[in-house]
């Protein structure tokens, strides 16, 4: 299957590709955020979950995030703190997740790593037994250099779009 066929999924809200077109569970959401077309496409493979986030059709960097914790580091649950304090910690990343740059990201691309860890945290919070590798590809300029209201809006909208593309 060519990349053009994969990306030709109908782009109205969240949609699944029909089984006769692809044996891979695929969902896509398209939105216009701050004047940019943002596509989120998720794929479910036997050994990995792939999330691609493009801006105006472009991808520029890729991370992988293993969901399994090492024996020395166990996942920490914020649910216990939330019960005691009443605070909402659902946007905090899980502390055992470590993003690994695979393609195109500079060593100081903090915001790209934050996107990758937040997406992996979202997946594991929605499916606590999930252990597949999470691969996150995104547009090169996602997040920008500084934290602005526009970047914050983009971040929250992208996380919501990923949640709508659930294939895990």
What is the residue-averaged pLDDT of the chain?
80
Work out the pLDDT band at 108, boundaries 50, 70, 90: confident
Q: Quick one: pLDDT at residue 144?
A: 63
Residue 70 clears pLDDT 80, i.e. is over it: no
Q: Quick one: pLDDT at residue 149?
A: 85
Q: Quick one: pLDDT at residue 27?
A: 97
Instruction: For residue 119, report the phi and psi dihedrals to the nearest 5 degrees.
Output: -65, -45
Query: Whose CA is closest to 29, among 42, 44, 45?
Result: 42
User: Under a CB-based contact definition with an 8 Å cutoff, are residues 99 and 117 in contact?
Assistant: yes
Question: Which DSSP category does 58 fall into?
Answer: B
Domain boundaries, the chain: 3-164
Residue 1 vs residue 28, higher pLDDT: 28
What's the whole-model pTM score? 0.77
Give the CATH number of domain 3-164; options: 3.30.230.90, 3.40.640.10, 3.40.718.10, 3.50.50.60.
3.30.230.90
């Amino acid at each position: 299957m060519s990349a053009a066929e994969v990306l030709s999924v109908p782009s109205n809200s969240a949609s699944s590709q029909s089984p006769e077109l692809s044996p891979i569970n695929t969902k896509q959401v398209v939105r216009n955020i701050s004047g940019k077309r943002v596509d989120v496409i998720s794929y479910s493979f036997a050994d990995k979950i792939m999330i691609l986030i493009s801006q105006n059709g472009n991808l520029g960097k890729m991370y992988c995030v293993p969901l399994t914790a090492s024996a020395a580091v166990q996942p920490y649950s914020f649910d216990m703190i939330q019960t005691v304090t009443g605070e909402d910690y659902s946007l905090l990343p899980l502390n055992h997740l470590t993003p690994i740059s695979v393609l195109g990201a500079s060593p100081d691309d903090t915001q790209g790593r934050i996107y990758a860890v937040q997406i992996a945290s979202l997946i594991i919070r929605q499916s606590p037994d999930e252990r597949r590798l999470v691969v996150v590809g995104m547009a090169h300029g996602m997040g920008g250099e500084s934290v602005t209201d526009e970047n914050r809006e983009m971040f929250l909208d992208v996380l919501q779009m990923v949640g709508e593309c659930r294939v895990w």
